[in-house]
Amino acid sequence: MKDFTVGKEAKLILQFSVPLVLGNIFQNLYNVVDSIIVGRFLGKEALGAVGASFPIIFLLISMVIGVGSGASTVVSQYFGAKKIKEVKRTIDTIFVFFLGSSILITILGISFSEEIFKLLGLPADILPHAVRYLNVYMLGMFFFFGFSGISSILRGLGDAKTPMYFMIIATINNVIFDLLFVVVFKWGIQGAAYATIISEGGAFITAAYYLSKKHPIINLSWRKYIFDRDIFRSCIRIGLPTGFQQSFVAFGMMAIMSIVNGFGTNAVAAYSAAMRIDSFVKMPAITFSSALSTFVGQNLGAFEERRAKTGLRATLLFSTIYCILVSLLIIIFGKHIMLLFTSDPAVIKIGQGYLVIVSSFYLLFSVMFTFTGFLRGAGATLIPMIATFTALYIVRIPAAVFFSGIIGVNGIWWGEPMGTFVGMLILLVYYRSGKWKGKVVVRKNKGDK
């Protein structure tokens, strides 16, 4: 556990961010490794199937993960206020919600997978691969939500190292099982999905056991859970806008995928690979945002607004330096990175176009996410939701449709930086207005300083 209400702000955020970045990088390696092995050993149709499944998975889990982020904010604010009893009740409450939700989402995902892919117009040669992959993947939702819940709670308590250790082990296991199931046992695309859920399941079970025995606050005893309705309402109030925001992103990704589908199998395979690379290199910037949320939550819970703002400035600096460096690397080496996934020249060319266009504007993305992280930590999650909706549905998707009709598949990619710029402006204006103040769960008593 880490108390962010004392000490040098920039140093604290950087120390917290490094293990968080490493943990999230390894978590994203799940998807990257799946795509590389599937693309290399099963072909571009299977590669496209893995990529096409991601927006649907993201849609199904987005609302639940949003509520989980709200719980992380509530935990961080109570912990900053030194209200340990409320911290424990929040942990119990969110686990009841997470584990119950996993059952419902598994049923929905398996029941409607084929219909959703058909609705998106997925090419016929990719469709059966996508259905098989998604149906197996959905069987691991219980483990996914369980481990996600543990990670969210630990982040709220200022602990980024513990989930990182378990995620590193899980990622190594995933690589081993991917090679075993896909390359050795020849299980096809289902093998990649089985590798993921077995590795995630191992991470959740070992993490739950370890924390129940060793952690001073977390005690995951299945028979002693207390569901606190008032705390859950606070989690919903803060997390639901984030859940809607994530859902907007998921629906937007599905809309973009449907546009890409119209350009055929090569475009779908290229988008699947390039999107994996893009998501992977963006992760540190997103992680800085998550670290800032915890930092801001604890400090606003302790009524330290000045420290929260100093943390914002430090995070902007870290994210800016990172995004400038990674943009240059992707622009220069994008073609070579695509070769990890496929040797098909047509697929590589389309993917390289995506990477050059999108990575040129990573700085806008980092600024937008940094302010999103600050506002989430403050409990002001409605405006980030509105910013995301505007960026996606008012700007990015219409721009993708319009420009792809004029300049082809590259026109789809230009919609992303346009939408990001508009979303960033909305968040900047709202932050400057100061209206995010007063959204904190913890209230100052008369005796507080």
State residue 447's pLDDT score. 47
State residue 78's pLDDT score. 85
Burial 371-398 (b: 16+ CB within 10 A, else e): bbbbbbbbbbbbbbbbbbbbbbeebbbe
Let me know if 268 is exposed, middle or buried by CB neighbors in 10 A (0-12, 13-18, 19+).
buried
DSSP assigned state of 185: S
Token readout for 236 is 């919903």
Picking from 273, 279, 262, the residue whose alpha carbon sits closest to that of residue 401 is 262
State residue 222's pLDDT score. 59
Alpha-carbon span 26 to 31, nearest angstrom: 10
pLDDT (tens digit per residue) in 212-259: 777 777 766 656 677 888 888 888 888 888 788 788 888 999 999 999
State residue 446's pLDDT score. 45
Picking from 31, 67, 224, the residue whose alpha carbon sits closest to that of residue 153 is 67
pLDDT (tens digit per residue) in 316-330: 999 999 999 999 999
Sorted by where each begins, the domain ranges of the chain are 9-433
CA 284 to chain centroid, in Å, comes to 11
State residue 262's pLDDT score. 93
pLDDT per residue rounded down to tens, the chain (449 residues): 567 778 888 888 888 888 878 877 887 777 788 889 999 999 999 999 998 998 898 888 888 888 887 887 788 778 877 888 888 888 888 888 888 889 999 999 999 999 999 998 999 999 999 999 999 999 999 898 888 888 877 877 777 788 888 888 888 999 999 999 999 999 999 999 999 999 999 988 888 887 777 777 776 665 667 788 888 888 888 888 878 878 888 899 999 999 999 999 999 999 999 998 998 889 888 888 888 988 888 888 788 889 999 999 999 999 999 999 999 999 999 999 999 999 999 999 999 999 999 999 999 999 999 999 999 888 888 899 899 999 999 999 999 999 999 999 999 999 999 999 999 999 999 999 988 886 665 555 544 44
Rg (alpha carbons) of the chain, rounded to whole number:
21
What does pTM read for this prediction? 0.79
Alpha-carbon span 68 to 83, nearest angstrom: 19
State residue 443's pLDDT score. 52
State residue 439's pLDDT score. 60
Are 160 and 72 within 8 A, CB to CB? Answer: no
Distances, alpha carbon 213 to alpha carbons 68, 147, 166, 208, 217, in Å: 23, 16, 15, 9, 10
Token readout for 319 is 């994210």
pLDDT (tens digit per residue) in 292-309: 988 888 888 788 889 999
Amino acid letter, 41: F
pLDDT (tens digit per residue) in 31-77: 788 889 999 999 999 999 998 998 898 888 888 888 887 887 788 77
Token readout for 266 is 């090569």
